[in-house]
Amino acid sequence: MDSILIFGAGELQESLISVAKEKGIYTIAIDPDENAYSKNIADKFIVVSGNDYLRTGSIIREYNFNGIITSSTDKPLRMMAKVAKEFAFNFPSEESIKIATNKYEMKKCFLQNNIPCANGIRVNTLKELMEIKGIEYPLIIKPSDSSGSRGVVLCESKEDLINNYEKTKVFSTDGSVIVEEYLKGRELSIESLTFGGETQIIQYTDKVVSDAPYNVEMGHKQPANLTISEKEKINELIKKTISTIGLDNCACHTELKINGDDIKIIEIGGRLGGDFITSHLTPLSTGFNMESALIDICLGLKPEISLKCNGASGIKYYDFGEGVFDGNTLDTSINENDIVKKEIYCTKGDILKPVTNSLNRHGYVIYKNNETQ
């Protein structure tokens, strides 16, 4: 029986663990949280600190895994790349993961290789922030190495930039931030798989974001409404980007903006898309399970990619507003028969805070064949 080590046992790993078990694979999940959401789904669960390389290595030696894998998180990727190099697992290189998990390294790579992206710079101190020149407002300020919209703020003026600097900086592990031009246009995410240097585009997703200044992702719809020409241009750009970074034997989640004929990459992650995009939306809209294919890749097997249907799916995240929650979760915009999964994170009487990033949204509903959102 094949066995795999799954990095993370949170809610976003629940589906991945279940799919692996359905494929007859023995699963061991590691997570620093002893109360991890999916701890009881894996065949075995072990509490391991996210930076404990020696403990992780000892577990690998003890169980002799056939592969390593995670789903929709950047956090363990650097550790995994280091482990993969030592134990010869099928995984992207350390250098490519370094670029894909650091927004500054990524932007530098884009600019050096003529990948269209937002013009921007890295800032390490408030003094450097005060001296920024050559980029017109509005600007985006974001941490160099975070995810989930944490610390990402649209700034209309230098005053906004200065006021948000410290708030953004706390989400960066090295204290640096990226300041870049704000890109206008539609925002999309693209899911793809790369194996043996060949990339296959799986699905295109339209994003729904909240109003400025935080621009939190509040919904996703599949498939995105794109022309054949737009898809061809996107496919070419994504394949070039993945090849340039050097990502291989992985899933990729790419975020970009389209403004007329202008297509620019925001960022790319060497992992499955979060927000239930790859675990739920993509199987509903394409009939294809990316998690199952990624498990094959981690085992060194070429995935069989077959997009069997052309359905529609989506997720809507809830923002019930600030103040005391009245418990009303009625949503007449979605037909009950179309609901696949729904979860509310708050209960009546809770004091709700403003939604400033993806971690403090108030709940969600996943639906299929519903185009009213």
Looking up residue 311, the CATH number of its domain turns out to be 3.30.470.20
* Pairwise CA distance, residues 36 & 267, whole Å: 28
Q: How many domains does the chain have?
A: 3
* Pairwise CA distance, residues 154 & 230, whole Å: 27
Query: What pLDDT sits at residue 36?
Result: 96
Same domain membership, residue 220 and residue 300: yes
In a domain, 102, yes or no: no
User: DSSP for 42-61?
Assistant: SSEEEE--TT-HHHHHHHHH
Same domain membership, residue 272 and residue 142: no
User: Can you read off the two tokens belonging to residue 355?
Assistant: 């939604």
Indicate if the pLDDT at residue 247 is higher than 70. Answer: yes
Query: What pLDDT sits at residue 94?
Result: 97
- Helix, strand or coil for residue 292? helix
Same domain membership, residue 190 and residue 177: no
pLDDT in tens, 30-70: 999 999 999 999 999 999 998 999 999 999 999 999 999 99
Same domain membership, residue 177 and residue 193: no
User: DSSP for 195-220?
Assistant: ETTEEEEEEEEEEEEPPTTT--EEEE
358: DSSP letter: G
User: Can you read off the two tokens belonging to residue 309?
Assistant: 């249907």
Read off the CATH number of the domain in which 43 is found: 3.40.50.20
* Pairwise CA distance, residues 95 & 241, whole Å: 15
pTM, two decimal places: 0.91
Asked if 189 and 277 touch (Cβ cutoff 8 Å), the reply is yes
pLDDT, averaged across the chain: 93
Cα 130 off chain centre by: 31
20-23 contacts, C-beta under 8 A, 24 or more apart: 20/69, 20/295, 23/292, 23/295
In a domain, 268, yes or no: yes
Q: Grade residue 280 by pLDDT with cuts at 50, 70 and 90.
A: very high
- The distance in angstroms from the start CA to the end CA of the chain is 44
Q: Return the half-sphere exposure (C-beta side, CA atoms, 13 A cut-off) of residue 192.
A: 30
Same domain membership, residue 262 and residue 123: no
Q: Among 165, 181, 197, where does a domain finish?
A: 181
Query: What pLDDT sits at residue 2?
Result: 95
Indicate if the pLDDT at residue 372 is higher than 50. Answer: no
**Residue 213 is which amino acid?**
P
Give residue 85's domain range.
3-89
Phi–psi pair at 138, nearest 5 degrees: -75, 155
Q: Grade residue 239 by pLDDT with cuts at 50, 70 and 90.
A: very high
* Pairwise CA distance, residues 213 & 354, whole Å: 12
Nearest CA to 76 among 111, 95, 103, 48?
A: 48
Give the 3-state secondary structure percentages of the chain, helix then strand then coil, rounded to 5. 30, 30, 45
Same domain membership, residue 285 and residue 237: yes
Indicate if the pLDDT at residue 157 is higher than 60. Answer: yes
Q: Among 141, 166, 181, where does a domain finish?
A: 181
Query: What pLDDT sits at residue 88?
Result: 97
- Helix, strand or coil for residue 126? helix
Nearest CA to 307 among 206, 193, 226, 189?
A: 193
In a domain, 108, yes or no: no
Same domain membership, residue 241 and residue 157: no
Same domain membership, residue 266 and residue 343: yes
In a domain, 36, yes or no: yes
In a domain, 105, yes or no: no
* Pairwise CA distance, residues 241 & 232, whole Å: 14
Peptide bond into 213 cis (omega under 30): yes
Read off the CATH number of the domain in which 177 is found: 3.30.1490.20
Angle subtended at Cα 345 by Cα 342 and Cα 347, rounded to the nearest 5 degrees: 110
Mean pLDDT of 78-89: 97
Same domain membership, residue 127 and residue 11: no
In a domain, 84, yes or no: yes
Q: Among 67, 89, 111, where does a domain finish?
A: 89
Q: Grade residue 145 by pLDDT with cuts at 50, 70 and 90.
A: confident
Same domain membership, residue 196 and residue 297: yes
Same domain membership, residue 255 and residue 149: no
In a domain, 103, yes or no: no
- List the 153-155 sheet strands across, edge first: 120-123, 177-181, 139-143, 153-155
Query: What pLDDT sits at residue 173?
Result: 84
Tell me the Cα Rg of the chain: 20
**Residue 74 is which amino acid?**
D
Q: Give the range among 11-20, 74-83, 145-154, 240-249 with minimum mean pLDDT.
A: 145-154
Q: Grade residue 373 by pLDDT with cuts at 50, 70 and 90.
A: very low
Same domain membership, residue 223 and residue 282: yes
In a domain, 244, yes or no: yes
- CA dihedral of 126, 128, 134, 138, whole degrees rounded to 10: -20
